[in-house]
Amino acid sequence: MMNHPKIEALSDSAKVHIVRLWGHCNKFRTDGVISASKAKEKGPAVFKQLTAGATPLLIALDDGTYYCHDYLKHQWSKDEIEAQSVVKKDSAAYGLHTRWHVNRGIFDPDCIHCQALEAG
């Protein structure tokens, strides 16, 4: 990633800032959209590097926010992350059911997996 021509041309400060912005988008599930204040927080020189050129890394949106170029092409969207979270949560619940109920021969009337087994 750091040897991509668009990234190589940036100063070290701008490189670090764009990676931090990508992390921010992932952490807060913004689908690549960041506020103007977040985009500009490292100063005008870094901001200019990220927004200049034919293919800027930060693209101005009509509402005053910025979009990280091709973010959703390389990262999961908010909806994809949330769907994966549901799958992981369900898998974990079933794994715990197997560990604590099935393997020990215990029926828990409050457990949806025990209820499903009983229903047949």
- The whole-number average pLDDT for the span 95-112 is 95
* pLDDT value, residue 17: 98
- The whole-number average pLDDT for the span 4-32 is 94
Domain count within the chain? 2
Sign (positive or negative) of CA dihedral 61, 63, 65, 70: negative
Kindly tell me if the per-residue pLDDT of 2 is higher than 90. no
Structure confidence by residue, pLDDT tens digits, 33-70: 999 999 999 999 999 999 998 889 999 999 999 999 99
Q: Are residues 70 and 13 in the same domain?
A: yes
Residue that is last in its domain, among 37, 59, 74: 74
- The whole-number average pLDDT for the span 18-30 is 97
Q: Is 57 exposed, middle or buried (0-12, 13-18, 19+ CB in 10 A)?
A: buried
Residue 38 to residue 118: CA distance in whole angstroms: 53
* 51-to-29, 61, 78, 90 alpha-carbon distances in Å: 22, 12, 24, 42
pTM of the model: 0.77
Per-residue pLDDT band for 107 (boundaries 50, 70, 90) equals very high
Q: Are residues 27 and 70 in the same domain?
A: yes
Q: Are residues 85 and 108 in the same domain?
A: yes
- Host domain of residue 111: 78-119
